[in-house]
């Protein structure tokens, strides 16, 4: 039986979303890779998302995320907005909560196809990222390039339900730089579970320009948890105010690291691309 799906995106970060209320979906890593592959029979996406029936009181759903390499991941910021929008559309409500392996997330309508989601409290301890050794995550002992002239150095580490390392750069970096450097750092021994790699340029105290090499997906148009991690990292370093616009080439997200409760709040757009059926050979 073919599984139906929705193709959605947030700032060009695209997803195949599968609702499991009426169809089962328990894919192998190979099946996820086949779905995510662009061309050659795949649908093509950065992440695959399953919306399952809720497991706990107060939740509208239980949501699973996979990166395009087939590995299940804890969180996806742009995907979270898409899920929240779908759940609000189906329920007729303007606020929803749902559970993930990384904890409970919630979303509220913020305008026409605009959603605000509460991404929870960031993990700042080295064990939460996780790192392979004890280290101050505000100034991590890591550099890329020659010892006397490193390309990037002394980043900040943040967990947003998935691991992030954020390097601050003097100017926005190219795709080639982000790919070359990000691919090196993603599997560095300091990060036993791999890491998402952000390159953040502080344009103003309320404006960050960001490019992200995403763990298991590569260079992506936008990364919601990466935007959250960059803003948290910048606030920790005293580089931005609590609320800032995080800009990708495809558009911007507004991120606030709330002082009152420590939660990270993200507002941004969602887009519905099309609906379809998975090819039989990749339908789990």
> Across residues 44-50, what is the average pLDDT?
96
Residue pair 77/227 in contact (Cβ under 8 Å)? The answer is: yes
Q: Is residue 23 scored above 60 in pLDDT?
A: yes
CATH T-level topology, domain 4-120+270-282: Diaminopimelate Epimerase; Chain A, domain 1 (3.10.310)
What residues have CB less than 8 Å from 35, skipping those under 6 apart? 16, 27, 42, 43, 45, 48, 278, 282
Instruction: Return the pLDDT at 279.
Output: 78
- At 54-103, the pLDDT tens digits run 999 999 999 999 999 999 988 788 999 999 999 999 999 999 999 999 89
Reported as a pLDDT band with limits 50, 70 and 90, residue 284 is very low
pLDDT at 51: 98
Say how far residue 9 (Cα) sits from the centre of its chain.
12
| Residues 242, 162: Cα–Cα separation, whole Å | 21
Ranges of CATH 3.10.310.10 domains, the chain? 4-120+270-282, 143-262
CATH 3.90.79.10, domain 143-262, yes or no: no
Q: Please compute the mean of the pLDDT values over residues 255-277 and round it to a whole number.
A: 97
pLDDT at position 3 is 87
What pLDDT is attached to residue 41? 77
Q: CA-CA distance, 132 to 49, in Å (whole number)? A: 29
pLDDT of 191 above 60: yes
Active site members: 76, 223
β-strand partners of 267: 116, 254
Instruction: pLDDT band for 123, please (50, 70, 90 cuts).
Output: very high
pLDDT-derived band at 2 (thresholds 50, 70, 90) equals confident
Give kind and range of the element (H or E) at residue 78.
helix 77-91
């Amino acid at each position: 039986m073919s599984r139906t799906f929705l193709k959605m995106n947030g700032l060009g970060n695209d997803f195949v979303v599968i609702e499991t209320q009426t169809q089962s979906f328990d894919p192998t890593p190979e099946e996820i890779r086949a779905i995510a592959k662009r061309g050659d029979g795949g649908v093509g996406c950065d992440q695959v998302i399953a919306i399952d029936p809720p497991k706990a009181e107060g939740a509208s759903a239980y949501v699973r995320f996979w990166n395009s390499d087939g590995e299940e991941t804890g969180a996806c910021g742009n995907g979270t907005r898409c899920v929240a929008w779908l759940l609000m559309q189906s329920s007729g409500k303007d606020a929803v909560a749902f559970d993930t392996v990384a904890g409970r997330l919630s979303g509220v309508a913020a305008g026409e196809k605009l959603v605000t989601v509460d991404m929870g409290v960031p993990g700042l301890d080295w064990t939460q990222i996780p790192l392979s050794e004890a280290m101050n995550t505000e100034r991590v002992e890591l550099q890329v390039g020659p010892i006397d002239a490193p390309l990037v150095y002394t980043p900040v580490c943040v967990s947003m339900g998935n691991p992030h390392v954020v390097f601050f750069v003097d100017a926005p970096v190219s795709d080639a730089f982000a790919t070359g450097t990000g691919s090196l750092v993603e599997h560095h021994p300091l990060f036993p579970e791999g890491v998402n790699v952000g390159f953040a340029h502080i344009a103003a105290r309320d404006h960050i320009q960001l490019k992200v090499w995403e763990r298991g997906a590569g260079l992506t148009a936008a990364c919601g948890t990466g935007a959250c991690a960059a803003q948290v990292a910048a606030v920790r370093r005293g580089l931005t105010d609590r609320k800032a616009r995080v800009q990708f080439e495809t558009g911007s997200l507004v991120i606030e690291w709330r002082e009152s409760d420590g939660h990270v709040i993200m507002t941004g757009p969602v887009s519905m691309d099309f609906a379809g059926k998975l090819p039989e050979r990749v339908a789990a």
